[in-house]
Amino acid sequence: MVHDVTGPSSRRPLTSRDTAWAKGLASRLAASRITPNQISAASVGFALLGLLCFCGAANSGRLLEALLLLLAAGTIQARLLCNLMDGMVAIEGGRSGPTGPFWNEAPDRAVDILFLWGAGIAAGQPALGLACAALAVTTAYLRELGRAEGLPPDFSGPMAKPQRMAALTIGCLAAAFYAPAWTLSLALWIILAGTSATILRRTLRLHRSLNRR
């Protein structure tokens, strides 16, 4: 998540950050030679694996397709685990570094594109996947634009990153057992609609904040 210590308000609020298992894993990682930036980079590796799973699912028999979609769901969750651990190791573990802000944001944008594009390929609608990816990047742009203007980062939904990844994970799990192309297309249309609403909401909130200032 955030590698530079800029205060709790700069981080996405996550209840999982307070769980015993997350604190224990973060503590073990902080005591190792693994850096927060390496954890962030690992999320891109999981996204590339997810993309390969989606591409393979689009050209496989039903059994292999189901297995690849289940694996894709696993890579999505692994990405989210990386997103959780990099910030906890950096901040709670005291391992933050000067290049942390880059590794906090840049890999996430690439990961969103890879996963959503891949889901579009598996659904037979790559353009739909890329449209979802473009909107996902726009939500992050609006958040960072507000932060650049001195405003608190806006993590509002209804389809922020955790919700997008949850919807995509559910779509993959459902598609593994029923009508893969149709199920993944439905998940992507839900993501597209929800992310569009998120962009509108963040735009209006940013506009109001700038006017008040």
Residue 90 near residue 3, CB atoms below 8 Å: yes
Element (H, E) at 2: none
- pLDDT of 4: 41
Is residue 43 included in any domain, yes or no?
yes
Is residue 60 included in any domain, yes or no?
yes
- pLDDT of 2: 40
Is residue 50 included in any domain, yes or no?
yes
Question: Distance between CA 41 and CA 13 in Å, rounded?
Answer: 22
Confirm whether pTM is higher than 0.75.
yes
State the Cα angle at 188 between 51 and 54, rounded to 5°: 20
Q: Which residues of the chain have pLDDT under 50?
A: 1-8
pLDDT in tens, 57-84: 998 999 999 999 999 999 999 999 999 9
Which residues fall within 8 angstroms of residue 60, CB to CB, at 6 or more apart?
Answer: 68
Instruction: Output the domain CATH number for residue 159.
Output: 1.20.120.1760
Residues in the chain: 213
- pLDDT of 7: 45
Is residue 6 included in any domain, yes or no?
no
Q: Which domain holds residue 86?
A: 16-212
Is residue 160 included in any domain, yes or no?
yes
Is residue 9 included in any domain, yes or no?
no
- pLDDT of 69: 98
Q: Based on the structure, what is the number of domains in the chain?
A: 1
Element (H, E) at 133: helix 126-148
Is residue 1 included in any domain, yes or no?
no
- pLDDT of 9: 52
- pLDDT of 52: 98
Is residue 8 included in any domain, yes or no?
no
Question: Distance between CA 158 and CA 88 in Å, rounded?
Answer: 25
